[in-house]
């Protein structure tokens, strides 16, 4: 069974792969292997047991569909997964696997591994959008255009100013996401109640080694402290909204009777099944759809912040799918707008015509200086 017809129009194939079943299982297995290696390095289990675990754990041998059925019954992925891995490894090594950890350690660590990978993918396309908008803004830094406020013609502005503002907004949003991921995409290792019991008082050192092995940040247990997940999700929501701002403006500028800018012609994109003459802003559609869905997803993360005591019920379990959806939406939005921004068609004649019709002159004030300020600060 596949849901690519639902996912692929809104997200990139690479981002879908970050959160698919195979990746989730592989990340969970990587956690269990790194846990055993960290414990062996600090004398909690024998080195030969860690070696047997590393040799025996094979994500490719796990049937994702069967595991999903078992996880639905158990209420968590870790219970059936650990049972399968212990059987796979066998003997004393199998019994040593997962020592001192709990199901939420697996779930949270897998999610943060996916967050790190997803962030790397997303940042590349977002920077493409920022760079392309910046290039257009410089080219049109002194081109007078009619500014519009409250959706009505207002005073002249440089056409490049609205592009520079968009580039700056998206760049600022990406910086927020960079900071949130850098600070909060951390290993979770707390054990049953967040005390790291069962690790022979070596839990802090073991956790540090696991974090380094997996490429995650080091942190104290955060079972019921979900501010980091909420911060990552909120930053994603802001980024999706900032991308949506560009999509909204390009779609408005492309309207019949305005025609100042439009998406590039791409074979197979932007057509109509019923009206051959239409040229629809399909890239903008993807971004605006994402911006419509994102606020509700972010609200779900905020609603889950009042976690109960040492480990909550229902709150953190909702986070993984929500964070995945936010990254999926952001990926589709950024990839679509990268193509739009890089190939943006700007109609200089239409810009001049619309300004002349407005009869407000061509004084663009300090637009050029503001553009330089916005792009200069963004590049810093």
pLDDT digits (tens, 9 = 90+) for 239-259: 999 999 999 999 999 999 999
* Candidate from 3-7, 8-12, 115-119 with smallest mean pLDDT: 3-7
Residues near 209 by Cβ (< 8 Å), separated by ≥ 6?
34, 37, 38, 41, 42
Q: Are 341 and 287 in contact (CB under 8 A)?
A: no
Name the band, by pLDDT with cuts 50, 70 and 90, for residue 278: low
d(CA 329, CA 237): 10
Residues near 322 by Cβ (< 8 Å), separated by ≥ 6?
233, 297, 300, 301
322 pLDDT higher than 60? yes
For the beta carbon of residue 23, count every other beta carbon within 10 angstroms: 17
370 pLDDT higher than 50? yes
Determine the distance from the C-alpha atom of residue 147 to the mean position of all C-alpha atoms in its chain, rounded to a whole number. 33
Q: Are 325 and 16 in contact (CB under 8 A)?
A: no
Q: Are 163 and 188 in contact (CB under 8 A)?
A: no
Task: Name the more confident of 273 and 212.
Answer: 212
Q: For position 379, what pLDDT does the model report?
A: 47
380 pLDDT higher than 60? no
Quote the pTM value: 0.93
Annotated catalytic residues are 272, 311
307 pLDDT higher than 60? yes
Q: How would you classify the pairing of strands 144-149 and 152-158? A: antiparallel
Residues near 149 by Cβ (< 8 Å), separated by ≥ 6?
none
Mean pLDDT of 128-150: 97
Name beta bridge partners: 239.
Answer: none
The closest alpha carbon to 136, from 260, 258, 291, 257, belongs to 260
For the beta carbon of residue 359, count every other beta carbon within 10 angstroms: 8
User: In CATH, what number does 1-101+189-221 get?
Assistant: 1.20.200.10
Q: Are 248 and 310 in contact (CB under 8 A)?
A: no
Per-position DSSP letters for 222-282, written without gaps between them: -TT--HHHHHHHHHHHHHHHHHHHHHHHHHHHTSTTT-SEEPPP-TTSS--SS-TT----H
Q: What is the pLDDT of residues 16-52, one digit of tens each?
A: 999 999 999 999 999 999 999 999 999 999 999 999 9
Determine the distance from the C-alpha atom of residue 208 to the mean position of all C-alpha atoms in its chain, rounded to a whole number. 25
d(CA 291, CA 247): 10
**30 is written with which tokens?**
């990587």
Domain 102-186+222-380, what architecture?
Answer: Up-down Bundle (1.20)
Helix (H, G, I), strand (E, B) or coil at 135: helix
Q: Are 330 and 286 in contact (CB under 8 A)?
A: no
Please provide residue 307's backbone torsions phi and psi, each rounded to the nearest 5 degrees.
-75, 145
Per DSSP (E only), the strands in the chain are 144-149, 152-158, 261-262, 345-346
Q: Are 181 and 119 in contact (CB under 8 A)?
A: yes
Name the band, by pLDDT with cuts 50, 70 and 90, for residue 271: low
Asked if domains 1-101+189-221 and 102-186+222-380 share a fold, the reply is: yes
Residues near 127 by Cβ (< 8 Å), separated by ≥ 6?
174
Please report, for the chain, how many H helices and E strands are present, in that order. 15, 4
Q: Are 201 and 178 in contact (CB under 8 A)?
A: no
Q: Say how many residues make up the chain.
A: 380
Domain boundaries in the chain? Answer: 1-101+189-221, 102-186+222-380
Task: Name the more confident of 275 and 12.
Answer: 12
């Amino acid at each position: 069974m596949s849901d690519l017809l639902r996912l692929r129009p809104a997200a990139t194939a690479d981002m879908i792969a970050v959160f698919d079943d195979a990746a989730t299982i592989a990340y969970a297995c990587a956690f269990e292997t790194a846990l055993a290696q960290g414990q062996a390095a600090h004398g909690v289990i024998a080195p030969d047991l860690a070696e047997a675990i590393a040799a025996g754990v094979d994500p490719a041998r796990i049937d994702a569909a069967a595991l999903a059925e078992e996880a639905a019954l158990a209420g968590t992925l870790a219970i059936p997964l650990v049972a399968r891995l212990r059987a796979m490894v066998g003997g004393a090594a199998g019994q040593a696997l997962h020592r001192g950890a709990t199901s939420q350690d697996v779930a949270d660590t897998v999610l943060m591994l996916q967050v790190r990978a997803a962030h790397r993918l997303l940042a590349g396309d977002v920077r493409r959008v920022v760079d392309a908008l910046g290039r257009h803004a410089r080219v049109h830094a002194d081109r007078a255009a009619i500014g519009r406020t409250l959706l009505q013609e207002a005073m002249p502005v440089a056409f490049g100013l609205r592009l520079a503002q968009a580039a700056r907004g998206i760049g600022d949003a990406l910086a927020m996401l960079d900071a949130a991921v850098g600070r909060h995409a951390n290993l979770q290792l707390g054990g049953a109640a967040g005390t790291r019991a069962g690790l022979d008082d070596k839990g802090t050192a073991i956790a540090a080694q696991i974090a380094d092995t997996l490429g995650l940040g080091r942190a104290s247990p955060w079972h019921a402290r979900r501010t980091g997940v909420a911060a990552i999700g909120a930053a994603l929501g802001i980024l999706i909204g900032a991308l949506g701002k560009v999509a909204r403006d390009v779609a408005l500028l492309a309207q019949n009777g305005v025609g100042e800018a439009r998406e590039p012609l791409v074979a197979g994109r932007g057509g109509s099944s019923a009206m051959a003459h239409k040229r629809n802003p399909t890239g903008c559609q993807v971004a605006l759809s994402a911006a419509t869905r994102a606020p509700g997803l972010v609200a779900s993360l905020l609603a889950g912040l009042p976690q109960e005591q040492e480990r909550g019920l229902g709150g953190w379990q909702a986070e993984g799918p929500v964070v995945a959806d936010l990254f999926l939406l952001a990926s589709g939005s950024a990839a679509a707008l990268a193509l739009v921004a890089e190939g943006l068609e700007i109609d200089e004649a239409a810009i001049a015509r619309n300004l002349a019709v407005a009869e407000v002159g061509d004084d663009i004030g300090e637009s050029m200086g503001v553009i330089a300020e916005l792009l200069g600060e963004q590049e810093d």
